[in-house]
């Protein structure tokens, strides 16, 4: 049975990740929608150097009783001017 985990909290935000309004608190709200919406998003600072990363907590899922066949899908984009 398919399950869909969605972001439910900011677990680690080193302060450099922001949402589409440049806010750095509860930015998971910008990526938790059922239907993807490119008008809201989170973003790294310009020219990230591989430092601390943003981590979100997912909503609760039932134990699938299996350790294989799982699929995790994410959407991301990169600004062309960012190199």
- Whole-number CA gyration radius for the chain: 15
- For 34, residues 6+ apart whose C-beta sits below 8 A from its C-beta are 4, 6
User: What percent of the chain is predicted at pLDDT more than 90?
Assistant: 51
Q: Given the structure tokens 């190199």, which residue do they identify?
A: 83
Read off the pLDDT of each residue in 28-34 and give the average, rounded to a whole number: 95
pTM, two decimals, is 0.80
């Amino acid at each position: 049975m398919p399950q869909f985990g969605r972001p439910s909290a900011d677990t680690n935000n080193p302060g450099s990740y922001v949402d589409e309004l440049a806010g750095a608190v509860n930015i998971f709200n910008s990526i938790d929608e059922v239907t993807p919406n490119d008008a809201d998003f989170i973003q790294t600072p310009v020219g990230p150097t591989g430092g601390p990363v943003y981590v979100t907590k997912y909503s609760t899922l039932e134990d699938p009783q299996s350790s294989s066949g799982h699929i995790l899908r994410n959407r991301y984009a990169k600004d062309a001017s960012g190199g």
